[in-house]
Amino acid sequence: MSLVGIIANPASGKDIRRIVGNAITVDNQQKLNIIKRIVVALAGSGIDHILIMPDQFGFGKRTLNDFTNRQDVQQALQLLEMPFENLPDDTSLAAARMVQAGADCIIVLGGDGTCRLAAKTAGSVPLLPISSGTNNVVPQFTEGTVAGLAAAHLSQQPVEERQSLCWQHKRLVVHVNGEEMDHALVDAAVIDTPYVGSRAVWEPDLIRQVFVTRADPAHIGISSIIGMAQIIDPRQPQGACVRTGGQHSVLTTILPGKLVRVPIGEIQPMQPGTPMPVIPNRPVVLALDGEREIVLYPGDEAQITLQNTGPWLVDIHAVLKHALNEGKYLQTA
């Protein structure tokens, strides 16, 4: 039996960062169309069970209604049984329920924030992230049909072979007063404000410190504060951190459609397992993967530790190459 889960965030890619940057938003009809292409590829590849997270927009129900003429889709696709409140925690709960159901792979439509939430409970089940969010460093712009083919082939391989077709992402683990609080997949930033507010970070002059697992000049988001000065390879074990307000400055792409010069100090390397202190300014907010999550009050001590124990991500090219080597798609007339 093969089982693939689908988590689609109807709220991703629509926050204030897209508006102020005049950026493209991925509306729910576009997401639905991506899901329908994924489902066709999964069902057409022989996946027995497809579980989709329930949501306020109704991606699963709409897909079933649009494929009344496809018996393979009707037999395979089911709505995941779970309560949902149209809140971020729905994603973590859905991933946990899919793991309990025996998912071989979970496809995630959203941005870095959605992937972070899914990674909290996905364990060793591989994620296949598809970009439909605001910050899209972990998710890739992958055609839904291709994503479905890759997820299907991976899921049909023996468990012991799947890791060779995936790679493990890093993460930044946040400890406050000695207690593990949360983690980020791409970046954690100290924001000079006592309020979580609208969650999204879009005021670069409030950023006081940045930690990254990866950085690249081709990526949009807070990680670009380091990425426009130094590349941090996602598959190498090291990370980096920097304080703002130093003697250097870097032209950043924190927001789509915006170029902002940010003063920074020296970029410091981060080694796995070595805690790095958060600057003592209080009160501040820690933003994880671009969204304000944790308020630090006077007296709070916080550390961030780079770990190489993040989610397993599907290497789509490696999976499809493996399928070709097995002659999966080739037939002789």
Predicted confidence (pLDDT) at residue 198 exceeds the cutoff of 80: no
Structure-token pair, residue 277:
């202190």
**Pairing state of beta strands 105-110 and 275-277?**
unpaired
Predicted confidence (pLDDT) at residue 18 exceeds the cutoff of 50: no
DSSP 8-class letter at 11: T
Predicted confidence (pLDDT) at residue 25 exceeds the cutoff of 70: no
DSSP SS3 for 14: coil
Rounded to an integer, the average pLDDT of 250-266 is: 94
Q: What is the pLDDT of residue 255?
A: 87
Q: CA–CA separation, 139 vs 109, rounded Å?
A: 8
Rounded to an integer, the average pLDDT of 102-112 is: 96
Tracing tokens 């190459």 back to the chain, one arrives at 321
Structure-token pair, residue 7:
């988590």
Predicted confidence (pLDDT) at residue 2 exceeds the cutoff of 90: yes
Residues of the chain with pLDDT > 70, as a percent, come to 95
Contacts of 211 (CB under 8 A, 6+ apart): 172, 184, 187, 188, 189, 239, 240, 241, 270, 276, 304, 306
Helix spans in 105-185 (H): 112-122, 144-155, 159-162
Rounded to an integer, the average pLDDT of 121-150 is: 93
The sign of the dihedral angle between the CA atoms of 56, 77, 66, 30 is positive
Q: CA–CA separation, 232 vs 282, rounded Å?
A: 29
Q: What is the pLDDT of residue 281?
A: 95
Confidence of residue 299 (pLDDT cuts 50, 70, 90): very high
Decide: 213 and 170 in contact? Cβ < 8 Å: yes
Total-model pTM: 0.94
DSSP 8-class letter at 228: T
pLDDT tens digits for range 310-322? 999 999 999 999 9
pLDDT tens digits for range 53-80? 999 999 999 999 999 999 999 999 999 9
DSSP SS3 for 28: helix
| Fold of the domain built from segment(s) 171-307 | Tumour Suppressor Smad4 (2.60.200)
Confidence of residue 257 (pLDDT cuts 50, 70, 90): confident
Q: Residue 63: what residue type? A: T
CATH of 3-169+311-325, one of 3.30.310, 1.10.10, 3.40.50, 1.10.3470: 3.40.50
Confidence of residue 26 (pLDDT cuts 50, 70, 90): confident
Contacts of 126 (CB under 8 A, 6+ apart): 104, 105, 106, 154, 162, 166, 311, 312, 313, 314
Residue spans of the domains in the chain: they are: 3-169+311-325, 171-307
Strand segments (E) across the chain: 3-8, 49-52, 77-79, 105-110, 127-131, 166-168, 171-176, 179-184, 187-191, 207-212, 239-252, 260-264, 268-270, 275-277, 284-288, 291-296, 302-307, 312-314
